[in-house]
Amino acid sequence: MEFYKKILENNKKWVEEKLSVNPTYFARLAEGQQPPLLWIGCSDSRVPANEIIGAEPGEVFVHRNIANMVVHSDMNMLSVLDYAVNALKVQHVIVCGHYGCGGVKAAMGNSSIGIIDNWIRHIKDVYRLHKDELDAVENEKERFNRFVEINVREQVLDLAKTSIVQSAWKNGQKLHLHGWVYGLNSGYVTDLNVNFSSNEDLDEVYQLYFGK
């Protein structure tokens, strides 16, 4: 109960602080949003999107789930992506994974945790795709880190495969996809330099053609 009371108090303090600097702070925000960035990150409490990049309210549209997955049948993710790209016209989408990710760790093991097993399975699919590379890393911690990085790359690729992103590119919309990994013990992010800017960067089977 202490914690619960504290967060309500924190909210009041936060509002007062913001208003003391700028009396129209919330009135301005209420007018609308035009964030330049969509963040797809992990639900992990230690990876707060705004804080890490020093973003103010209004600057980043956020979607988070376990292990920052881009699952092509996930209506939640697709709706967020569609709104971000087609309504808000974001120019950047960042998939941000993090070292020490519990979801990725679970995907390396075989224990059943519950219904989440079915979500984790998507991460296991990534392992299977990169089994040779991952199995070759003998040190378990290094293999775990590598898997986190590979998973981010794969999710950026999955973003590029979506009809939403391909359609935006076809229409000449500026849309840059990025893959990052956040270090829980350093606070720094590493840009994995996974860059796609056209559907021609995709395997042919994934390329979509629009219209005639």
Q: Which residues bind Zn ion (CB under 5 A)?
A: 42, 44, 101
Q: Which of 63, 96, 98, 153 is catalytic?
A: 98
Question: Closest separation between CB of residue 113 and Zn ion, Å?
Answer: 14
Residue 41: φ, ψ to 5°: -130, 180
Question: Closest separation between CB of residue 193 and Zn ion, Å?
Answer: 21
Q: Which of 101, 122, 158, 178 is catalytic?
A: 101
How many Cα atoms are found within 13 Å in the side-chain-facing hemisphere of 200?
2
Annotated binding-site positions = 42, 44, 98, 101
Residues contacting 148, CB < 8 A, separation 6+: 97, 98, 99, 100, 101, 104, 181
Indicate if 42 belongs to the active site.
yes
Pick 45 or 110: Cβ nearer Zn ion = 45
Pick 35 or 41: Cβ nearer Zn ion = 41
Indicate if 201 belongs to the active site.
no
CA distances from 46 to 2, 59, 75, 174, 184 (A): 21, 20, 25, 31, 7
Question: Closest separation between CB of residue 171 and Zn ion, Å?
Answer: 33
